[in-house]
Amino acid sequence: MKATSRRNFLSNSAKVAGVLPFLGSQVFLDDSKKEKRNSHGPMKILILGGTSFLGPHQIAAALKNGHEVSTFTRGKTIPSIHKDLFKNVEQLIGDREDNLEALKGRKWDIVFDNSGRKVQWTTDTAELLKDHVDHYFYISSVSAYYPYYDTHIKEDQKLVLKIPEELEDENEKYMYEYGVMKANSEMEVMRIFGEDRSYIIRPTFMVGPGDQTDRFMYYPTQLAKGGDIILPGKERDQIQYIDIRDISKWMIHLAEKGRPGAYNAAGPGFKMNMKQFVYGAHAAFNTPVNFIKMDDYDFLEKHEFRFQAPWILDTNPKFAGISNVDISKILDSGIEYRPLADTIKDTHDWWYSDAVTEERRTNFLQAEQSMVNRQEALIKAWNEHVK
């Protein structure tokens, strides 16, 4: 999910559309097709994308297990992590919009479609590769479930496949566009590759080293520094995230094991609320901190404090289930989650390394909208509020 979309949708009013076009059919109800691909020698893996956030970690996990990797990009995005691994990767150049030549006449065992941004892109690559690739992994998103009226959403939830008419709110339109694009792309993969050759991966917030956004950096930077730390929301507010390295390793494992289907890709492996998250994150550092609990939703709304990754103010019923999708299937499939403190420490260390420019760090730390910059005024207002 894009940082902007996450932030933007939270400025939506809480109005709820009356009737939504739940046109999707239930998918992946038949678990008898699991464990299709039991023998796995070295695999030939194609990544559509591969140079941004997820791709380099998939490459690291794949090469570690002896697989071969090709990437397909326009050659524009430069990886900010695992750069040294790319000398061992075949880098194909083209454009999903209008140039798939480099993919023609080739064979792979697995394709990871990381760069799906249009349904047509997915249709085109799935059609082109269906007789040349065994299994298609489509990297979707939990956004495919938008609007998230239910909690503990499972993979067989019916999806909205059509944007409702007469949406006036631009942010809500964006949420529908992204979710409906992901949902229809999933359907295209299923239609073209068939249920037993398709993997639909629906990640929640992916976090960790190499993130191209700075939306997750408040806690790693501020907990490392010590001092005042804002803890937003109520004790009951659940959060979810997944370390980019855990999801990458798990996807390779899933490909090796052969268990096609749809998967919610969220962590941690237990119910975690925001307080537990912040305290767990603090375990990464040895700093004196002063937690300031801001637990009044009205105050947070009034001060336009609706998002601080991974926390989301979910008073809008359309977002009720966004941070607690069901994870029983991914748990059952062998995901291994690393401790939160490792995620925080490694993200912090990567962000302060040469991989990130000083300009980017300065922009984040001084941006008007950054919580780092806003927190002093917020704390002042909060102290007035609770006086």
The reply on whether position 87 binds ligand NAP by CB under 6 A is no
Q: Count residues binding ligand NAP (CB under 6 A).
A: 24
Of the candidate residues 8, 44, 50, 266, the single one contacting ligand NAP (CB under 6 A): 50
- Where does 41-197 show beta strands of DSSP type E? 44-48, 68-73, 90-93, 108-113, 133-139
Among the candidate windows 95-103, 169-177, 251-259, 361-369, which touches ligand NAP by CB under 6 A?
A: 95-103
Among the candidate windows 90-98, 218-226, 318-326, 330-338, which touches ligand NAP by CB under 6 A?
A: 90-98
Of the candidate residues 10, 110, 126, 139, the single one contacting ligand NAP (CB under 6 A): 139
Question: Rounded distance, CA 156 to CA 22, Å?
Answer: 13
Alpha-helical (H) ranges within the chain are: 3-9, 54-64, 119-129, 170-193, 218-225, 244-257, 274-282, 297-302, 328-332, 340-351, 358-366, 371-386
Q: What are the two backbone dihedrals, phi and then psi, of residue 244, each rounded to the nearest 5 degrees?
A: -60, -30
| 260 cis-preceded (ω within 30 degrees of 0) | no
Among the candidate windows 26-34, 68-76, 165-173, 287-295, which touches ligand NAP by CB under 6 A?
A: 68-76
**What residues contact 342, with CB distance under 8 A and at least 6 apart?**
243, 284
Q: What's the min distance (Å) between Cβ of 234 and ligand NAP?
A: 24
The reply on whether position 266 binds ligand NAP by CB under 6 A is no
Q: What's the min distance (Å) between Cβ of 83 and ligand NAP?
A: 13
Question: Rounded distance, CA 92 to CA 102, Å?
Answer: 6
The reply on whether position 115 binds ligand NAP by CB under 6 A is yes
Q: What's the min distance (Å) between Cβ of 343 and ligand NAP?
A: 13
Q: Residue 103 or 313: which CB sits closer to ligand NAP?
A: 103
Q: What's the min distance (Å) between Cβ of 128 and ligand NAP?
A: 13
The reply on whether position 323 binds ligand NAP by CB under 6 A is no
The reply on whether position 95 binds ligand NAP by CB under 6 A is yes
Question: Rounded distance, CA 355 to CA 338, Å?
Answer: 22
The reply on whether position 77 binds ligand NAP by CB under 6 A is yes
Query: How large is the C-alpha radius of gyration of the chain?
Result: 21
Among the candidate windows 91-99, 302-310, 329-337, 370-378, which touches ligand NAP by CB under 6 A?
A: 91-99
DSSP class per residue in 288-357: -EEEEEE--HHHHHHTT--EETTEE---SGGGTTTT----HHHHHTT--PPPHHHHHHHHHHHHTSTTS-
Of the candidate residues 8, 122, 141, 375, the single one contacting ligand NAP (CB under 6 A): 141
Among the candidate windows 71-79, 102-110, 300-308, 313-321, which touches ligand NAP by CB under 6 A?
A: 71-79
- Decide: 337 and 330 in contact? Cβ < 8 Å: no
The reply on whether position 52 binds ligand NAP by CB under 6 A is yes
- Decide: 174 and 146 in contact? Cβ < 8 Å: no
Give whole-number Cα distances, 329 to 123, 152, 238, 284, 382, in Å: 27, 12, 19, 29, 41
The reply on whether position 347 binds ligand NAP by CB under 6 A is no
Q: Residue 21 or 75: which CB sits closer to ligand NAP?
A: 75
Of the candidate residues 24, 116, 179, 208, the single one contacting ligand NAP (CB under 6 A): 116
Q: What's the min distance (Å) between Cβ of 298 and ligand NAP?
A: 29
Q: Residue 193 or 382: which CB sits closer to ligand NAP?
A: 193
Question: Rounded distance, CA 311 to CA 309, Å?
Answer: 5
Q: What's the min distance (Å) between Cβ of 3 and ligand NAP?
A: 9
Q: What's the min distance (Å) between Cβ of 113 and ligand NAP?
A: 8
Question: Rounded distance, CA 46 to CA 179, Å?
Answer: 25
Using CB under 6 A as the criterion, which residues of the chain lie in contact with ligand NAP when the complex forms? 1, 49-55, 73-77, 95-97, 114-116, 139, 141, 203, 205-206
